[in-house]
Amino acid sequence: MLLLKTRGEMSTKALARTLGISVPAVRRHLQTLGDQVSVQSSASGVGRPSQIWRLDTAAQDRFPDTHAELTVQLLDSIERSLGPDALDKVIGDRFRSSSATYRDRLSGVKTLAGRLKRLAEIRTEEGYMASVEKCSDGWLLLESHCPICAAATRCRGFCRDELDLFRELLGADVTVERVEYLLEGGQRCTYSIKVKEKLR
């Protein structure tokens, strides 16, 4: 489950190779997971189609959630008692507080690659299972888990502020775009980071 969570979709053969066990053993383990995984066939070349496995929504409960039920209740109470504007103010205050903390922890890191590495470390400490990958035109920041998934589902303002936070932290000379979104059926939240082309 951790492999599928952190790496996304994987074939039966790839799982067997990574875990160092046989393909039949992998199938037996996957069958015990029931509705926490789904599988689809993928034909590639000659021979039997590959079976591609991914985690389903039911699997989210197997990973840490930051006091999900209480958080959602508090968000509901704020909106019900004080109105949607008050809820937006509370989320905005959290954003400003997080922004100050992150800026402090990133101070002194000059390169974009270094800042991304440090950002991934901070996010992993917070439960996001974050990593950075270099690609041909920039970097990808991958977050394989969302420890505030219940709160973010209830109020997308958290996700909006997260994107704004990354843009602020990484500077005006880069673009940050969310290219995969857990709450819209993605395997994870993935952000594409590219250096802006200089004006000539």
Q: What is the pLDDT of residues 64-91, one digit of tens each?
A: 765 677 788 888 999 899 998 998 898 8
pLDDT of the residue at 43: 75
Domains of the chain: 2-56 (1.10.10.10), 68-195 (3.30.1380.20)
Identify residue 170 by its one-letter amino acid code: L
Q: What tens digit of pLDDT does each residue of 13-37 get? A: 999 999 999 999 999 999 999 888 9
Q: Could you give the C-alpha distances from 166 to 32, 129, 177, in angstroms and in order? A: 39, 16, 9
Chain mean pLDDT for the chain: 89
pTM for the full predicted model: 0.68
Tell me: pLDDT of 48 over 80: no
Query: What's the length of the chain?
Result: 200
pLDDT of the residue at 112: 94
- Short-list 114, 119, 167, 168, CA closest to 142: 119
pLDDT of the residue at 65: 62
